[in-house]
């Protein structure tokens, strides 16, 4: 009985919380670093991993000795070079996806840098192309693991002689496990001064399993068996797709680090409590997507009746309409008048939103001043 009551209460709470009216808000967040004075970037090729894995890479995969299978390693000597190229492609895609920078691709940048090694003034040639900053990158760590594991499959069988059912191992499945780990670093240098504008390192790891075969034990239970190969190739899958998955996970994050971006999420309006009949029509306007009319209606109710939830909701709707300063101003009045803890929490959030939006706008317009020490750094806070 107690469990039934608790379950009923949980369902009620879920229904109450899930029925909250929410609105979509959208605002700019600044890049982690202000690069407004370095919008033209020359990207050099990524330096591949140049060291060994700290142990010899076996051409054969461990764990197969108990089977009739054979399988060669998925590693090949070109893998470090290929991972370097994948890193380079990901960084170029991340920078270009922002729509914020003009980029000189690695092939062209490398050609200019090689001329510099030969005595030409590469820096001036790049500057003549309008380049303001150079991006360099390097794969600083790589490692791979691959081995085979066997997993017993148990089933209930019936003894033909006695008619009794019992559980026993009827088969054993074999899986190839492959693990890939890597770290990379990218840095932005101002072309003329060669000072570091920004540098960041990332590390990632991925794992996958491939079913390669199964051992089926004879039904008589005397230990006889036969192996069935399910993976036809004699070579394990390449590690290259695993490393690409690692890099793909970082692309969106890097784009947001380097340039302002739009962030969209939903916030909940305050419920109509104490209930004001006139506010119901404003909630209906919200549900129909008429944010501007709803905002005016809530604001009128706040000014006329001092209805706290209406003032609170009017401020959030001002945010949804892109009027961030108005949202902060109104929520500040609601909090100072009512002392509402919810209003205070939203006031702090709205101040942060307005500040970030303004900084992002300045980054886009190029109005942020740069001091003598380096580029202005900003903290990026992601709200789920």
Q: Are 247 and 134 in the same domain? A: yes
CA proximity to 222, closest of 168, 153, 281, 173: 168
* pTM for this model (two decimals): 0.79
My answer on whether 357 and 277 are in the same domain is yes
Confirm whether 148 is domain-assigned. yes
Residue 134 tokens, joined: 């150079």
278 & 219 share domain? no
For residue 286, give its domain range.
263-384
Domain annotation covers residue 3: no
* Three-state secondary structure readout of 300-311: HHHHHHCCHHHH
Number of domains in the chain: 2
User: Could you tell me if 239 and 100 lie in one domain?
Assistant: yes
Q: How large a percentage of the chain has pLDDT more than 90?
A: 69
Of 67, 110, 69, give the one whose Cα is nearest residue 88.
110
Q: Is the peptide bond before 347 cis (omega within 30 degrees of 0)?
A: no
Q: Would you say residue 72 has pLDDT above 60?
A: yes
Same domain, residue pair 244 and 296: no
Q: Is residue 227 part of a domain?
A: yes
End-to-end CA distance of the chain: 38
What token pair was written down for 192? Answer: 């003329």
| 280 shares a domain with 346 | yes
DSSP β-ladder status, 40-43 and 102-104:
parallel
CATH code (residue 237): 3.40.50
CA distances from 284 to 22, 321, 350 (A): 12, 17, 24
Question: Quick check: is 273 in a domain?
Answer: yes
Residues 185 and 126 reside in one and the same domain: yes
Model pLDDT for residues 342-377, shown as the tens digit of each residue: 999 999 999 999 999 999 998 888 765 444 333 333
Residue ending a domain, among 261, 296, 318, is 261
Mean pLDDT score of the chain = 87
Same domain, 127 and 144: yes
Boundary-marking domain end, from 242, 261, 280: 261
The CATH number for 279's domain is 1.25.40.10
Within-domain flag for 204: yes
Same domain, 255 and 269: no
Both 283 and 244 in a single domain?
Answer: no
Q: Are residues 99 and 163 in the same domain?
A: yes
Residue 220: which pLDDT band, with cuts at 50, 70 and 90?
confident
Rounded CA gap, 301 and 276, in Å?
9
The pLDDT tens digits for 107-153 are 999 999 888 776 678 889 999 999 999 999 999 999 999 999 999 99
Verify that 45 and 158 share a domain, yes or no. yes
């Amino acid at each position: 009985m107690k469990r039934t009551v608790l379950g009923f209460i949980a369902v009620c709470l879920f229904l109450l919380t899930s029925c909250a009216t929410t609105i979509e808000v959208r605002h700019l967040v600044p890049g982690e670093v202000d690069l407004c004075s370095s919008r033209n970037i020359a990207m050099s090729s990524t330096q591949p991993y140049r060291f060994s894995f700290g142990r010899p890479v076996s051409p054969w995969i461990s764990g197969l000795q108990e089977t009739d299978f054979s399988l060669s390693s998925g590693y090949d000597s070109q893998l470090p070079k290929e991972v370097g190229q994948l890193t380079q492609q990901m960084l170029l895609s991340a920078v270009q996806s922002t729509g914020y920078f003009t980029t000189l691709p690695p092939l062209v940048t490398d050609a200019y840098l090689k001329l510099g090694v030969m005595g030409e003034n590469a820096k001036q040639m790049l500057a003549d192309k309008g380049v303001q900053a150079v991006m360099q990158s390097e794969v600083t760590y790589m490692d791979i693991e691959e081995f085979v594991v066997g997993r017993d499959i148990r089933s209930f069988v019936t003894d033909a002689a006695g008619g009794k059912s019992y559980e026993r191992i009827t088969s054993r499945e074999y899986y190839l496990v492959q693990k890939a780990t890597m770290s990379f670093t990218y840095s932005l240098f101002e072309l003329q001064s060669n000072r570091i504008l920004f540098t960041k390192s990332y590390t990632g790891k991925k794992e996958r399993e491939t079913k390669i075969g199964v051992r089926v034990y004879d039904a008589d239970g005397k230990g006889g068996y036969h192996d069935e190969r399910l993976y036809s190739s004699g070579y394990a899958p390449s590690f290259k797709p695993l490393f690409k998955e690692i890099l793909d996970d970082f692309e969106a994050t890097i784009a947001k680090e380097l340039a302002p971006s739009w962030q969209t999420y939903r916030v909940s309006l305050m419920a109509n409590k104490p209930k004001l009949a006139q506010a119901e029509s404003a909630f209906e306007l919200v549900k129909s997507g008429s944010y501007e009319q709803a905002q005016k209606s809530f604001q009128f109710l706040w000014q006329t009746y001092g209805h706290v939830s209406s003032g609170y909701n009017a401020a959030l709707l001002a945010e949804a309409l892109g009027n961030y300063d108005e949202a902060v101003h109104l929520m500040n009045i609601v909090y100072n008048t009512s002392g509402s803890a919810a209003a205070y929490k939203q006031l702090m959030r709205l101040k942060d939103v307005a500040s970030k939006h303004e900084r992002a706008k300045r980054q886009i317009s190029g109005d942020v001043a740069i001091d003598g020490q380096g580029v202005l750094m900003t903290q990026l806070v992601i709200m789920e």
